[in-house]
Structure 1
Amino acid sequence: MQPLLDAIATMAFPTDAQRIFHGRGGRFPGCEHWSLDAYPPVFVLTSFLPAAEEDLATIGAALQSRWAQIAPGEPLNWVFQCRHEQLRVHGRAETRLMAGAVPDPHVVTEQGARFRVHVLKGQNHGLFLDMAEGRRWVRQYVAAHQAREPRGAKVLNLFAYTCAFSVVALQAGARQVVNVDMSHGAIAIGQQNHQLNGLTTGAGFLAHDIFSTWGKITRGGPYGLVIVDPPSYQKGSFVATKDYARLMRRLPDLLAPGGHALLCLNAPELGLDFLKGQMQALAPDLALVERLANPAVFADVQAERALKVLVYKAPD
């Protein structure tokens, strides 16, 4: 646990939402089950194994000590979530408020954008912190596109979740973003995220199963940018090993000439060769441009297991 305590002892005052400690990357032996995130003004400690109360007390004391140094006079707010295997099998997690309070509504920032999060319920808190560099890339891509075409880029955001990609694309000057996700609840939060950022036009929201909505999606194209960020495994809706191919086959018809696709995969058991091999077989005319680096704090001793984000380009 010492590496976690060291990270707490040296952390800066967090303004944006961010990961503080990433034990899952395997760089800190004995701490593989711990992660610590900041969703200001709340810290979220997660364990993927059962945690002893004395360990939680030690971590709580470390947080309190550092918080008194970097935010004197401010109350410490922190939440603990246990996601050990027995709980995850049943699709739930144990979540406890350990100190302070959680704002309601709870709004965090990232690179100038505002997002609503929910850290006391569920395992997904409304903003995936490991995708920060993907959102940064989208912001830069759309801004550069606007410099070439003043009308702005047209973006398709598949598996949009709470529509964070859409928010940053519109902030950067996108002409239109079509957000598609089968979760009505996630899309509703996505609409709130647009309102939080003063974005009242340009976004469309389809709370539909992507695989039964291709007609509407295709009619809305072609798109200068297609973002594909599916779950690696979600029973009844998406299984990467069989369903990602169904998306790849569609990309050539969805993309405008010279358009780009951002393909994301967060499945430790599937490496880069899975994405690259299937793209070569199913969309050979699209050229691999780069793999985006993950935020430095998410470094993994096995890069193949970490989040994979690839950029592809359609022919001009």
Structure 2
Amino acid sequence: MTLAPLRLNKNEDHRLRAGHVWVFSNEVDNRVTPLTQFEPGQPVLIEDASGHALGTGYVNPGTLISVRLVSRDPKYVLDQSLITHRLNIALSLREKLFDKPYYRLAFGDSDALPGLIVDRYGDIVVVQITTAGMERLKNEIVAALEKVIKPRAILWRNDSPSRELEGLNRYVEPALGEVPDMALVEENGAKFEAPLTTGQKTGWFYDQRLNRKRLQHYVRGAKVLDVFSYLGAFGVQAAIAGAESVICVDSSQKSPEWIQRNAELNNVADKVSVQRDDAFEVLRRLRAERQRFDVVILDPPAFIKRKKDIKEGTLAYQRLNQMAMQVLAKDGILVSCSCSYHLHRDSLRDVLLKGSRHLDRFMEIVEEGHQGPDHPVHPAIPETGYLKAFFCRLLPS
């Protein structure tokens, strides 16, 4: 297959040579290879200013990230064979990590599959495509998955807002077989049902697996408050680990039903209750009622999705964490998470410190968490290391 060349400006090859995998639109030599001559998702041969090949990738002329590197060897293009090969490599890591097939199988650039997310629920697979280059290869992706893991069903969960940046439609539809509304998840010895077609993102948040396991050390005999609970993953696992009582808070219409079902699956329904309301309103109400909890878990959605949201979003994290501290017992554990890449780890630590000082409480960070190993971090792409979790002990000052 002969690929159209895409030439970079002089000295704009250093980022790729240093290990990065993206080319921005201002790095392309538009005099030699105008971006307008390419179709969205078209495979290209990336060249430096002297015409030396840097590797293959695919292009989208209408986006800030114009080119995504696929291979540094010009012989390899993104096709069914390469997707199969890289899925097999990704699978070999997951099979070392997990005894059962419940994990993120492919994490985009971190698994050398830019624009492709694959979550595995036993013999059911949920796939999310976020780039035009991958969208052109839908049939090849399905064929590769059939060869590598032989799923019973595959769901396209292509409703991410980020697709619009690539000029792609948003849709949810089966790609193979009959996809059930709910799928089984096994995690840390617990069983859950996750809504594949109507739930958040791809149904289940595998990235928090290790942090939910860490939680088990702190909850025996405790009163627990799980805020932004979604399916009750933190709260139900806290109940299984010996919590005295758990209140799960979420504003989603279906969350109470999902959480109660998951509590029943694990024989802890008598310990778990649900409050369907805005998280800030619940925290205000609990504070007014002078209720106190031994453990409070905060796992909010991203308050900072773009750089311009940093100031306002940081204030939201500040307010949330301070309110959570106000309902903590005198000797309590706060588990504070953020999936906002733009809120850096040091910034979340500062948020927690400011909150504790404002309330005149002594705080010690006893553990720090991050995303699980089925969400590997690409060392040249900080955005792939997005999840932060702090396990904080708060005491009287």
Cα distance change on mapping 1:64 and 1:14 into 2, 3 Å = farther
Take 2:115 and 2:382, find their aligned partners in 1: how far apart are those partners? 18
- Structure with higher RCO (Cα < 8 A, 6+ apart): 1
- Tell me the equivalent position of 1:163: 232
1:35 aligns with 2:111: no
- Runs of 5+ unmatched residues, structure 1: 69-74, 147-151
Residue in 2 that maps onto 1:262: 335
After superposition, give the CA deviation of every residue in 1:206-243 in whole Å (9 maximum; x if it has no partner).
Answer: 111122233542337321111011111399xxx73221
Task: Report if aligned partners of 1:130, 1:294 keep a CA contact under 8 Å in 2.
Answer: yes
- Match of 2:100, as an amino acid? T
Distance 2:257 2:185 in 1: 17
- 1:315 is paired with a residue of what secondary structure? strand
Counterparts of 2:204 and 2:297, CA distance in 1 = 16
Quote the residue 1:306 is aligned against: 386
Match of 1:149 in 2: none
C-alpha distance after superposition, 1:267-313 (max 9, x if no partner): 11111122111222221322222311421121222557421111111
> 1:133 aligns to what?
210
Question: Does structure 2 conserve the Cα–Cα contact (< 8 Å) formed by 1:157 and 1:227?
Answer: yes
Aligned pair in 2 of structure 1 residues 230, 126: CA closer, same or farther (>3 Å)?
same
Trace 1:1-316 onto structure 2 (pairs within 5 A).
1=78, 4-10=83-89, 11=91, 12=95, 15-23=100-108, 26-28=109-111, 31-50=113-132, 55-67=137-149, 76-82=152-158, 83=160, 85-87=162-164, 93-121=170-198, 123-142=200-219, 146=220, 152-218=221-287, 219=289, 221-233=291-303, 240-284=313-357, 285-300=362-377, 301=379, 302=381, 305-315=385-395
User: Residues 48 and 283 (structure 1 numbering): CA distance in 2 closer, same or farther, change over 3 Å?
Assistant: same
Shift of 1:87: 4.2
What is the SS of the residue equivalent to 1:233? coil
- TM-score, length-normalised on structure 1? 0.82
Q: CA deviation at 1:103?
A: 2.9
Does the residue aligned with 1:261 lie in a helix, a strand or coil?
strand
- The structure with more radius of gyration: 2
The alpha-carbon deviation at position 6 of structure 1 amounts to 2.8
User: What is the letter of the counterpart of residue 181 of structure 1?
Assistant: D
What is the root-mean-square deviation of aligned Cα atoms in Å?
Answer: 2.9
- 1:171-206 CA-partner distances (Å, limit 9, x unpaired): 111001111112231222111111222222111211
* Separation of aligned partners in 1, 2:283 and 2:343: 26
Cα pair 2:183 2:195 within 8 Å, conserved = yes
Q: Report the CA distance shift for 1:169/1:53 in structure 2 as closer, same or farther (over 3 A).
A: closer
- Kept in 1, the 8 Å contact 2:156–2:173? The answer is yes
Task: Quote the offset at 1:9 in angstroms.
Answer: 2.4
Q: Percent identity?
A: 25
- The Cα of 1:106 is off from its aligned counterpart by 2.5
- Separation of aligned partners in 2, 1:89 and 1:160: 31
Report how far residue 48 of structure 1 moved.
Answer: 0.9
Task: Return the alpha-carbon distance in structure 1 between the equivalents of residues 145 and 129 of structure 2.
Answer: 16
Letter in structure 2 aligned against 1:159: F
Deviation at 1:169, TM superposition (A): 0.6
Q: Please give the per-residue CA displacement for 1:100-126, whole angstroms capped at 9, x wherever unaligned.
A: 222344222212212222223355344
Q: Distance in 1 between matches of 2:106 and 2:279?
A: 35
Distance verdict in 2 for CA 1:4–1:37, change over 3 Å: farther
Q: d(CA) in 2 for partners of 1:199 and 1:153?
A: 14
Do 2:294 and 2:333's aligned partners in 1 also have CA atoms closer than 8 Å? yes
Q: Cα distance, 1:141 vs. partner?
A: 2.7
Distance in 1 between residues matched to 2:224 and 2:165, nearest whole Å: 34
The separation in 2 between residues aligned to 1:119 and 1:215, in whole angstroms, is 32
> Distance between the aligned counterparts of 1:215 and 1:58, measured in 2?
51
Change in Cα spacing, 1:184 to 1:105, as seen in structure 2 (3 Å) is same
In 1, Cα distance between the equivalents of 2:342 and 2:148?
A: 37
CA distance in 1: counterparts of 2:275 and 2:161, whole angstroms:
34
TM superposition shift of 1:163: 1.1
Partner of 1:259, secondary structure, is strand
Equivalenced residue count is: 295
Aligned to 2:36: none
Distance 1:89 1:203, change over 3 A: farther
